[in-house]
Amino acid sequence: MTEELLNLPVPAVLSGDRGVVWLRATVVRFSNGPDHTRRRALTTRLLDNVDATTLDELATALGLPGSLDDIARIAPCYQPHEPITAEADAAVERLATAHDEESAARIGLLVQAWAATNALAEHLRTGNQAPPVPITRRAAETGTIEVGLDDHPFGHGPHACPGRHLATRIAKNMAFRAMHHQDEPLILPNAWDYASATALHAAGFTAIGTTSLGVAAAHGIPDGMGLAGDQATALARLLSTLPCPVTADLESGFGKAPAEVAELVAGLGVAGVNLEDGRPHGLATPQEQAELIAAVKGRAPGVFLNARIDTHWQGVALEETEDRARRYVDAGADGIFVAGLTEPRDIERLAALAPLNVLAQQRTPKELGDLGVKRISTGSLLFRAALHHTVATAEAVRDGKPASRSFSYDQVQDLISRGTRSDAG
């Protein structure tokens, strides 16, 4: 029934030649019939080959660089049932290079993207599974009706969102960044395959990471040697369809040059990556790692880059760890990850530089949060625990003992259904 209602025409809007009224009357969003068909083709063409990880990049791609302040003024007045402000009218006029359909399409696309990504990002940040826009309006024989979007969060039929994939990606990036600036640390579990990731998301975790050890070991490859690049990137692309932000452990870039790593990150579709300065046979120089970080951030500015610093892990003095952290942040890193860091004074010192990630340890999340930690990841712990549980269960069966609890067959089938993906519906 909902799909039938969403196939109804949208309510007619007033015509006008200036400001928000002109914008409403000229965009595809509030059009029907031949106007809608023509304008839909135009908006699709404008979005063709757009590759953006932030709203700023999208604005530039749509020919409206630096326009987000004006877009934010227009957005609350865009829907026909909302009152129009003088500020919104003035913003439309500043952005309209000509009062034609293409100019309206560029502005309208960015207004809709701004509203959708901000709403969706907040839902993702808090784990709210409700659609970012709860209702839409359609013209029925009885008048204008409201249609719920619970089953179709990006619409359906002729008015389905043409930029759904792009908006979802940008929203995930925004949400993941925001998760590193909350009062409480982000608890980030690390998965090694699709099933483990979906199970963790179903358990209520708002973001998922990958574990390089788990991915490599599951394929019979040693960790940390740069040999599991194909497996790690294949998993990252698969997990990018989850309805939550995902961050991928890319070790040190699998031996690729900085420009190649940058292109890889831009094409994965994930909200974050880990890049470490450890190499198979030692440490990269700070300059080498800073160049890698700068290349990635220049190509994919919306992807959260967590710079893992392996000096502390290898017993190098804290001063060098701190120096590297500063260099990596200056190069564009969004956060720092110091594996093996446990001393409270060291944690506080490094947490002052950027959002700090540490491995799960005996201290509680609150205790680590009080020290300034913004992210607590499980690393390879869950994979190692799963291995232990697997062997223990097999031994129980062999020894005639009760097997411990497990997911049912149907539960696993449900976990990997299409409904677990962000493009479902």
Q: Is the pLDDT of residue 7 over 90?
A: no
Query: DSSP secondary structure string, 179-192?
Result: HTTSSS-EEE-EES
pLDDT in tens, 67-102: 999 999 999 999 999 999 999 999 999 999 999 999
CB 258 within 8 A of CB 291: yes
Strand segments (E) across 129-255: 135-140, 143-148, 186-188, 190-191, 208-210, 246-249
Q: Return the DSSP state at 222.
A: -
| 370 pLDDT higher than 60 | yes
Percent above pLDDT 70 for the chain: 98
| For residues 93-114, average pLDDT | 97
The DSSP-derived string for 68-115 is HHHHHHHGGG-STTSPPPHHHHHHHHHH-SSSSHHHHHHHHHHHHHHH
Of residues 348, 383, 343, the one with CA closest to residue 363: 343
Kindly state the average pLDDT of the residues 293-310.
Answer: 98
Phi, psi of 356 (to 5 degrees): -100, 130
pLDDT of residue 251 exceeding 60, the answer is yes
Q: Is 255 left (phi over 0), alpha (psi -120 to 50) or beta?
A: left
Rounded to an integer, the average pLDDT of 130-134 is 86
In this prediction, residue 420 carries a pLDDT of 58
For range 168-176, the mean pLDDT: 97
Q: Are 133 and 116 in contact (CB under 8 A)?
A: yes
Residue at token pair 């002109």 = 22
Single-letter code of the amino acid located at 28: V
Mean pLDDT of 287-309: 98
Judge whether residue 394 has pLDDT over 50.
yes
Domain boundaries, the chain: 2-171, 180-387
First vs last Cα of the chain: how many Å apart?
A: 14
How large is the average pLDDT for residues 359-383?
97
Q: pTM for this structure? A: 0.94
Residue with the bigger pLDDT between 415 and 171: it is: 171
- pLDDT average, residue stretch 215-242: 96
For 268, counting Cβ atoms within 10 Å of its Cβ (0-12 exposed, 13-18 middle, 19+ buried), the class is buried
Query: What is the CATH number that goes with domain 180-387?
Result: 3.20.20.60
What is the reported pLDDT for 425?
Answer: 39
The dihedral formed by the CA atoms of 88, 94, 98 and 101, expressed in degrees to the nearest 10: -30
Q: How confident is the model at residue 45 (pLDDT cuts 50, 70, 90)?
A: very high
Tokens linked to 346: 């060291």
Given a contact cutoff of 8 angstroms between Cβ atoms, the answer to whether 311 and 324 are in contact is yes
For residue 395, count other CB atoms closer than 10 A to its CB.
11
229: part of which helix (H) or strand (E)?
helix 229-239
More confident residue, 153 or 215: 215
Query: Of 17-31, 130-144, 167-181, where does mean pLDDT reach its minimum?
Result: 130-144
Region 238-267: what's the mean pLDDT? 97
Q: Tokens in use for 285?
A: 């120089």
pLDDT averaged over every residue in the chain:
94
Confidence class for position 247, pLDDT limits 50, 70, 90: very high
The pLDDT assigned to 424 comes to 44
Q: What number is the average pLDDT over the span 14-43? A: 96
**3-state SS class at 219:** coil
Dihedral angle at the C-alpha atoms of 368, 370, 373, 374, nearest 10 degrees? Answer: 110
Nearest to 157 by CA among 37, 24, 13, 8: 8
Return d(Cα 300, Cα 76) in angstroms, integer. Answer: 29
